[in-house]
Structure 1
Amino acid sequence: MSIIQTLRALGPIDTRGVRRDGLLSWMIVIPMIGALVLRWGLPPLTARLIERYAFDLTLYYPALLAYFFVVMTPVIFGTVIGFLLLDEKDDQTLIALQVTPLSTNQYLAYRIAIPVVLTSVMILVIFPLSGLSALPLTHILIIGIVAAPLAPLFALYLAAFAQNKVQGFALIKLSGIVLLLPTFAFFIQSPWELAFGLLPTYWLMKVYWLLESGQSDVWMYVLVALIYQSVGIGALVRRFDAVMHR
């Protein structure tokens, strides 16, 4: 089957799956809602903190946006796709797919491509929508490209290690600290900052911080981010494939 045929076959099924699940349909718009909340709420809060405590929150905007936009946007789309995969496991749809013209590789390619595209597009939307960053469109595009692989990585993580949505929610809670930890690298101005590089989300955040600070020499970090996440996706694809064929 071609890419278009795969999209035509699975796209409507995914759309129905998201629509019938109120949580998933709500999650898709969370990044835009978050961008608007920050746009309207953060400047008044910043002004209040300066007025009362002489504390300038704008200095820490990059840390906040790195977490809420660069990390949480792909995680949200990864969660949506991951839960669709868990539903298909419960309904044994994945077993049925094995006797259709759609190969396992085509199915997984579709599952990886969709959250990548959705994340890239959403990153391009929420940065201008928030009005909190002056990054040019080309830099936002780089951030979107770097952040996008985290979505299928997180989706496959849920599908490979959770048996159902209840376990999926538990894994999301356990992942919270891992997703948040690299944010603290923003406050460390020493080589020890690289210790956070053990976590893939650090490299995404670092690319954004460098671009936000006006530095253009980010390609090493972009390359590491993409390679790190690609290796993780490859490992989780093998794990998921093994789970599917048990």
Structure 2
Amino acid sequence: MKQAPLAIRLGRNDLRLIGRDQLLISMFVFALLLSLALRYGLPWLNEYLSQHGVMPGELVDRPLYSYYPPILAHMILYNGAALVGTVFGFLLLGEKDDRTWCAMLVTPVSSLSYLGYRVAATSAFGFLIVAGMLVVTHQGRLGLWQLPVLAVGAALTAPIVALFITVTAENKVQGFAVAKFVSLAGGIIVLGWFVAEPWQWLFGLFPPFLVSKAYWMAWNGATDWWAAVCLAIVMQGIMTMWLSHRITRII
């Protein structure tokens, strides 16, 4: 009997592993709940704060609506992708703990093929989650055709998170600490929003920031937002290759 392609065989195994772990499943449920909260909660909160003289008010002279870009970029483009990356990062850590990598050395599957599948699968799931969250939370400021382009850029953050967790954590306990650090690192995106250009571009040294930058540019009607997406794809691709190289040295 002809053997199924590598991607299908590994994909089936991943689905079984995810299905057994209620925590991992809950992460995907959280993405849906977060999207609904942003879609319906933000407009309500914006109206509430405006009616009660808080935003705008004495302390803040702008309505909450003016801060939608950094909020949505951080919660969807970064956290949505990081959520997927965390799920796959824990799958990799599980295989690391079970010494699956050592066993793989005596199989026809090369480490590069294995990591290539991992990166591709994580990116694909990242695209689906981020694109879905963008559609659900869509505020009407962007064209629908722009959403999948932004989702492509954001999706590449997912394998970076997965590989980073795998490289820096020895087990799942350490993985939780690293995942927390990854979540906190997203604050760079929010901080960058308040920095004036051209200094704001310095935050691009943290590649996921560039996807959010593209989102803000598109939100404000800039026609060259796609250039920031392309730069994000290139820089995140370089980071992914570097992390993959680090992993091949420890397999």
CA distance in 1, matches of 2:132, 2:184: 27
CA distance in 1, matches of 2:22, 2:50: 40
C-alpha RMSD over aligned residues: 1.8
Structure with bigger helix share is 1
Q: What does 1:27-106 correspond to in 2, within 5 Å?
A: 27-53=27-53, 55=55, 56-106=63-113
Cα deviation for residue 20 of structure 1 reads 1.4
Partner of 2:26: 26
Aligned to 1:134, the other structure's residue is in SS state coil
Cα deviation for residue 6 of structure 1 reads 1.3
* Worse-superposed segment, 225-234 or 188-197: 188-197
Q: What does 1:150-189 correspond to in 2, within 5 Å?
A: 150-189=157-196
* Worse-superposed segment, 34-43 or 122-131: 122-131
CA distance in 1, matches of 2:154, 2:134: 13
Cα deviation for residue 112 of structure 1 reads 0.3
CA distance in 2, matches of 1:125, 1:134: 17
CA distance in 2, matches of 1:96, 1:133: 50
Amino acid at match of 2:19: R
Amino acid at match of 2:104: L
CA distance in 2, matches of 1:54, 1:133: 25
Aligned to 1:29, the other structure's residue is in SS state helix
Q: TM-score, normalised by structure 2?
A: 0.91
CA-to-aligned-CA distance 1:44-90 (integer Å, 9 cap, x gap): 21111000025121111111000000101110010011000000011
* Worse-superposed segment, 143-152 or 27-36: 27-36
Amino acid at match of 1:233: T
Q: Is the Cα–Cα contact under 8 Å of residues 218 and 225 in structure 2 kept in the other structure?
A: yes
Aligned to 2:249, the other structure's residue is in SS state helix
Q: Is the Cα–Cα contact under 8 Å of residues 85 and 159 in structure 1 kept in the other structure?
A: yes
CA-to-aligned-CA distance 1:163-196 (integer Å, 9 cap, x gap): 0111111112223332211212222233221221
CA distance in 2, matches of 1:216, 1:114: 31
Q: TM-score, normalised by structure 1?
A: 0.93
Amino acid at match of 1:46: N
Alignment counterpart, residue 149 of structure 2, candidates 142, 145, 154: 142
CA-to-aligned-CA distance 1:177-233 (integer Å, 9 cap, x gap): 322112122222332212212211211110111111111212331222111111111
Q: Unaligned 5+ residue runs, structure 2?
A: 56-62
Q: Is the Cα–Cα contact under 8 Å of residues 203 and 221 in structure 1 kept in the other structure?
A: yes
Q: Unaligned 5+ residue runs, structure 1?
A: none
Q: What does 1:113-128 correspond to in 2, within 5 Å?
A: 113-128=120-135
The answer to whether the aligner puts 1:226 opposite 2:230 as a matched pair is: no
